[in-house]
Amino acid sequence: MKVVITVVGMDRTGIIAAVSQIMAENEVNILTINQVILDGIFNMAMIVDMEKATIDLEQLQKLLKEKGNVLGVEIRAQNQKIFDAMHQVG
């Protein structure tokens, strides 16, 4: 299963490293990362593959939410199929 992870919040050192560490520790393969900082606001989208993951999506969401609280950013993870369906135009 592919998952879309989004991170939004005030920029600070270590956001990408912290999220990537969670992926590595749980055998979640990072496929793509796109990030930008606009006027001090950090915005990242990451697509990951959970085919060989040692945790399920619900556990990943919990870990990311907890890490987001520590970092002061909002981190969300959604099944890519659901994400795509929610963001289709017309």
* CA–CA gap between residue 21 and residue 27 (Å, rounded): 10
pLDDT of 90 above 70: no
Q: What is the mean pLDDT of the chain?
A: 93
Into how many domains does the chain fold? 1
Structural domain boundaries enclosing 54: 2-86
Q: What is the pTM for the complete model shown?
A: 0.88
Task: Kindly report, residue by residue over 61-88, the tens digit of the pLDDT.
Answer: 999 999 999 999 999 999 977 766 666 6
Task: Supply the CATH number for residue 7's domain.
Answer: 3.30.70.260
* CA–CA gap between residue 34 and residue 64 (Å, rounded): 17
**String of DSSP letters for 31-64:** EEEEEEEETTEEEEEEEEE-TT-SS-HHHHHHHH
